[in-house]
Structure 1
Amino acid sequence: MNIKCPSKFQSGPAQLVLKEETMEPIDMEKDGTQQSADPLVVEEATQELGSEPYDDEQPSYVPAELVKPWCSKDASVLYHCYLIEMKQNFCSHIPVNNIVLGLRSELNCGIVNMNFDLVVDKGTITVNFKKANEIHLSSEQVLQCRRFQITIFRILVDCNLQNLKEVLERLSLGQNLGVESINYLLLPAERMHQKPSIIDWECVRSVPFRSEENSEYHIDCSPPNNCSSVLHTKNGTVCTCRVQNSLVYTPHTGLLYCITGLLDDLNGNSLLRPRGRRARTYKTHYEEKRGINLRVDQQLLLKGRHIFKLQNYLLSCRQQRKKESKPVELPPELCSIVMSPLSISNLYSFSIVPSIMHHLESLLLALNLKNMILDRCKENVTIPTIKVLEAITTKGCQENFNLESLETLGDSFLKYATSQQLFKTYQNNAEGLLSGQREKIVSNPALCKLGCDRKLPGFIRNECFDPKKWTIPGDYSGTSFLSEDLPFNERNIYIRGRRKVKDETVADVVEALIGAFLSTGGEIAAIYFMNWVGIKVDLVHIPYERHFQVQPEKLIDVRRLESLLNNYSFRDPSLLLEALTHSSCMLPKIPGCYEKLEFLGDAVLDYVITFYLYNKYRGMSSPGFLTDMRSASVNNDCYALSAVKAGLHKHILASDNVNNDIDNTVNNFGRLSIESTFGWETETYFSKVLADIIESLAGAIFVDSEYDKDIVFQSISPLLEPLVTPETMPLNHVREFKDYCKKMQYIMKKPVISTQNGVVTRTIEVEAKGVVIYKHTSTVSNNKTAEKVAYKFFLRSLKETNLE
Structure 2
Amino acid sequence: MDKDEIRNKSADPLGVEEAKQERGRETSDDEQPRYVPIELVKPPCSNDASVMYHCYLIELKPNFDCDIPVSDIVLGMRNELDCDTITNMNFELQVQRGPLTVNFKHAGDVSLSSEQVLACRRFQITIFKILVDHKLKKLEEVLERFCLGQNHWTESIDYLLLPAERRIHQRSSIIDLESIMSMSSLCNNDSKNSACVNFPQPNNNSHVLLHTQNGMVCTCRIQNSVVYTPHNSILYCITGLLDDLNGNSLMKDKKSLTYKAHYEAKHGINLCFDQQLLLNGRHIFRVQNYLLKCRQQTKKESSDKSVELPPELCTIIMSPISTSNLHSFSLVPSILHRLESLLLAVNLKHMILDHCPQNITIPTIKVLESITTKGCQENYDLESLETLGDSFLKYAASQQLFKTHQNDREGLLSVNKEQIISNLSLGKLGCDRKISGFIREESFDPKKWIIPGDYSGNYFLNEELLFNKRSIYVGGTRKIDTKVVGDVVEALIGAFLSTGGELDAIYFMNWVGIEVDLDHIRYERHLPVQPEKLIDVGHLESLLGYKFCDPSLLVEALSHGSYIAGGYQRLEFLGDAVLDYMITTYFYYKYPGMMSPGFLTDMRSASVNNDCYARSAVKAGLHKHILASDIVHRNIESTVNNFGLLSSESTFGFESETSFTIVSF
Assess same fold via TM > 0.5. yes
Alignment equivalent of 2:144, drawn from 151, 156, 169:
169
User: 1:69–1:177: 8 Å Cα contact kept in structure 2?
Assistant: no
Alignment equivalent of 1:143, drawn from 118, 143, 154:
118
Alignment equivalent of 1:460, drawn from 439, 447, 459:
439
- Partner of residue 3, structure 2: none
Matched, 1:471 2:450: yes
C-alpha deviations, 1:163-190, integer Å up to 9, x for none?
1111111111111122111111111111
- Partner of residue 180, structure 2: 204
C-alpha deviations, 1:598-627, integer Å up to 9, x for none?
111111121122222222332549796456
Shift of 1:534: 0.7
Equivalent-residue separation in structure 2 for 1:223 and 1:116 (angstroms): 37
Equivalent-residue separation in structure 2 for 1:450 and 1:67 (angstroms): 28
Equivalent-residue separation in structure 2 for 1:95 and 1:441 (angstroms): 55
Report the CA distance shift for 1:657/1:287 in structure 2 as closer, same or farther (over 3 A).
farther
Alignment equivalent of 1:573, drawn from 530, 547, 551:
551
Matched, 1:241 2:241: no
User: 1:403–1:509: 8 Å Cα contact kept in structure 2?
Assistant: yes
User: 1:402–1:623: 8 Å Cα contact kept in structure 2?
Assistant: no
Equivalent-residue separation in structure 2 for 1:138 and 1:352 (angstroms): 28
Alignment equivalent of 2:100, drawn from 125, 150, 162:
125
- Partner of residue 61, structure 1: 35
Equivalent-residue separation in structure 2 for 1:347 and 1:221 (angstroms): 17
- Partner of residue 615, structure 1: 589
Shift of 1:330: 1.2
Equivalent-residue separation in structure 2 for 1:618 and 1:44 (angstroms): 36
- Partner of residue 283, structure 1: 260
- Partner of residue 195, structure 1: 171
Tell me the percent identity: 68
- Structure 2: which 5+ residue stretches go unaligned? 1-12
- Partner of residue 520, structure 1: 499
Alignment equivalent of 2:407, drawn from 400, 410, 428:
428
Report the CA distance shift for 1:642/1:299 in structure 2 as closer, same or farther (over 3 A).
farther
Q: Secondary structure of 1:572's partner?
A: coil
Equivalent-residue separation in structure 2 for 1:228 and 1:374 (angstroms): 61
Shift of 1:126: 1.8
Q: Secondary structure of 2:65's partner?
A: coil
Report the CA distance shift for 1:221/1:48 in structure 2 as closer, same or farther (over 3 A).
closer
Shift of 1:570: 2.6
Matched, 1:343 2:322: yes
Alignment equivalent of 2:132, drawn from 157, 176, 195:
157
Matches within 5 A, 1:655-670: 655-659=629-633, 662=636, 666=640, 669-670=643-644
Report the CA distance shift for 1:271/1:437 in structure 2 as closer, same or farther (over 3 A).
same
Equivalent-residue separation in structure 1 for 2:283 and 2:70 (angstroms): 17
Shift of 1:531: 0.7
- Partner of residue 80, structure 1: 54
Alignment equivalent of 2:159, drawn from 166, 173, 184:
184
Equivalent-residue separation in structure 2 for 1:290 and 1:53 (angstroms): 57
Shift of 1:264: 1.7
Matched, 1:648 2:595: no
Structure with more contact order per residue of length (Cα contacts < 8 Å, sep ≥ 6): 2
Report the CA distance shift for 1:221/1:57 in structure 2 as closer, same or farther (over 3 A).
closer
Shift of 1:558: 3.8
User: 1:580–1:652: 8 Å Cα contact kept in structure 2?
Assistant: yes
C-alpha deviations, 1:413-449, integer Å up to 9, x for none?
1111111112222223222222221111111111111
Matched, 1:323 2:300: yes
- Partner of residue 379, structure 2: 400
Shift of 1:581: 1.1
User: 1:661–1:687: 8 Å Cα contact kept in structure 2?
Assistant: no
Report the CA distance shift for 1:254/1:398 in structure 2 as closer, same or farther (over 3 A).
same
Give the counterpart letter for 1:79 in structure 2.
Y
Matched, 1:604 2:578: yes
Matched, 1:116 2:91: yes
Matched, 1:97 2:71: yes
User: 1:100–1:189: 8 Å Cα contact kept in structure 2?
Assistant: yes
C-alpha deviations, 1:65-98, integer Å up to 9, x for none?
1111364732111211111122222221212211
User: 2:195–2:221: 8 Å Cα contact kept in structure 1?
Assistant: no
- Partner of residue 298, structure 1: 275
Shift of 1:536: 1.3
More off after superposition, 68-77 vs 397-406:
68-77
Shift of 1:234: 1.3
User: 2:611–2:660: 8 Å Cα contact kept in structure 1?
Assistant: no
Shift of 1:247: 1.1
Shift of 1:127: 1.6
Shift of 1:148: 0.8
User: 1:637–1:679: 8 Å Cα contact kept in structure 2?
Assistant: no
Equivalent-residue separation in structure 2 for 1:170 and 1:375 (angstroms): 41
Report the CA distance shift for 1:672/1:344 in structure 2 as closer, same or farther (over 3 A).
farther
Report the CA distance shift for 1:149/1:634 in structure 2 as closer, same or farther (over 3 A).
farther
Report the CA distance shift for 1:192/1:597 in structure 2 as closer, same or farther (over 3 A).
same
User: 2:16–2:414: 8 Å Cα contact kept in structure 1?
Assistant: no
Matched, 1:229 2:208: yes
User: 1:202–1:217: 8 Å Cα contact kept in structure 2?
Assistant: no
C-alpha deviations, 1:526-584, integer Å up to 9, x for none?
1110110111111111222236655434543445544543x223333322221111112
- Partner of residue 583, structure 1: 561
Q: Secondary structure of 1:488's partner?
A: coil
Report the CA distance shift for 1:292/1:182 in structure 2 as closer, same or farther (over 3 A).
same
Shift of 1:651: 3.0
Shift of 1:204: 2.2
Number of residues of Structure 1 aligned to a counterpart in Structure 2: 643
Give the counterpart letter for 2:171 in structure 1.
K
Equivalent-residue separation in structure 2 for 1:46 and 1:66 (angstroms): 44
Q: Secondary structure of 1:582's partner?
A: coil
User: 1:393–1:403: 8 Å Cα contact kept in structure 2?
Assistant: yes
User: 1:270–1:281: 8 Å Cα contact kept in structure 2?
Assistant: yes
Equivalent-residue separation in structure 2 for 1:462 and 1:222 (angstroms): 46
User: 1:409–1:512: 8 Å Cα contact kept in structure 2?
Assistant: yes
- Partner of residue 718, structure 1: none
- Partner of residue 308, structure 1: 285
Equivalent-residue separation in structure 2 for 1:431 and 1:529 (angstroms): 27
Q: Secondary structure of 1:328's partner?
A: strand
User: 1:182–1:471: 8 Å Cα contact kept in structure 2?
Assistant: yes
Matches within 5 A, 1:685-704: 686-689=662-665
- Structure 1: which 5+ residue stretches go unaligned? 1-38, 690-804
Shift of 1:139: 1.6
Q: Secondary structure of 1:95's partner?
A: coil
User: 2:375–2:443: 8 Å Cα contact kept in structure 1?
Assistant: yes
Shift of 1:257: 1.2
Shift of 1:223: 8.3
Matches within 5 A, 1:521-560: 521-546=500-525, 549-560=528-539
User: 2:197–2:221: 8 Å Cα contact kept in structure 1?
Assistant: no
Give the counterpart letter for 1:189 in structure 2.
A
Equivalent-residue separation in structure 1 for 2:283 and 2:69 (angstroms): 17
* RMSD of equivalent CA atoms: 3.1
Q: Secondary structure of 2:388's partner?
A: helix
Q: Secondary structure of 2:33's partner?
A: strand
Equivalent-residue separation in structure 2 for 1:74 and 1:481 (angstroms): 22
- Partner of residue 5, structure 2: none
> Structure 1-normalised TM-score?
0.74
More off after superposition, 611-620 vs 398-407:
611-620
Q: Secondary structure of 1:363's partner?
A: helix
More off after superposition, 537-546 vs 647-656:
647-656
Equivalent-residue separation in structure 1 for 2:486 and 2:557 (angstroms): 33
